[in-house]
Amino acid sequence: MYWQLSHRADHAARLIADRHYNRQKPGTPQFVPPGRCLVLTLPSDVGRGLWVTSWPFAEFVRHEWPGAWVCSAFRREDGPRASDLIRDAVAATVAVWPTVPRIASARGEVAMVSFVDRAKTRHKRDPGRCYLRAGWSVIGQTAGGLVALGLRAEDVPEAEAALPAGGQMAWDFTAGCSVNVGGTAAEPPKSAVRSHCGPNSRGQGAEFGPLYPASE
């Protein structure tokens, strides 16, 4: 496992997020959409990178695959091959949420989706190449022209927990996201969960682009 646990207000992770093409408001402290999330970073002796799995509530999603996990941010600046990092990040996601989603798509049931903007990524024959090499496939396109990539449920790797985070941080697995020091995994600060992780979060990531884009 390459990845370590992080959280949605991690300053070092935010700096990496600021360099992602989809970041709408670089410099703002929150870089993850509201709702359930898993934030991962690479330890300094492994490389430099960021991954965010978001799991928005289906009723607040406007793309064609509501209920699926969403890779809402992936940036590799240094370290292992991107395709290997993707596989590990999915395994870490399964370790947090063992019940794998199965959402109908043109390529069968998918567990996780991601979206690529051809206009803002390096030109290549197959957008999302690192995802394709990790076993994903193109499952469609959004109304806004983003390429939709999906990982079939049957291709999801076995669960493997991410490495422990450095510093003081606790996890709220019910909300599916990390909270800052001040509580425990069993009882995080209510204000933190209410503000960033609760069921009233509508899954519209104003600070990190159209992560759950409209399909019509």
Domain ranges of the chain: 4-196
Residue 71 forms beta bridges with which residues? 53
Q: What is the pLDDT of residue 181?
A: 34
Task: Tell me what pLDDT residue 129 has.
Answer: 87
Give the pLDDT confidence score for residue 24 in this predicted structure.
61
Answer yes or no: are the C-beta atoms of 153 and 135 closer than 8 Å: no
Q: Does domain 4-196 have CATH number 3.40.50.300?
A: no
Query: Which pLDDT value is given to residue 213?
Result: 40
Write phi, then psi, for 138 (nearest 5 degrees): -75, 125
pLDDT of residue 145: 80
Spell out the alpha helix ranges (H) of the chain: 11-18, 82-96, 129-133, 190-196
Q: Which residues pair with 115 in a beta bridge?
A: 148
Q: Which tens digit of pLDDT belongs to each residue from 47-83? A: 999 999 999 887 778 778 999 999 999 999 999 999 9
- Rounded to a whole number of angstroms, the distance between the first and last alpha carbons of the chain is 38
Copy the structure tokens of residue 209.
């682009």
The pTM assigned to this predicted structure is: 0.75
Give residue 37's pLDDT band: very low, low, confident or very high (50, 70, 90): very high
User: Is 213 in contact with 63 (CB distance < 8 Å)?
Assistant: yes
- Measured CA to CA in angstroms, residue 1 lies from 46, 66, 205, 216 at distances of 10, 28, 28, 38
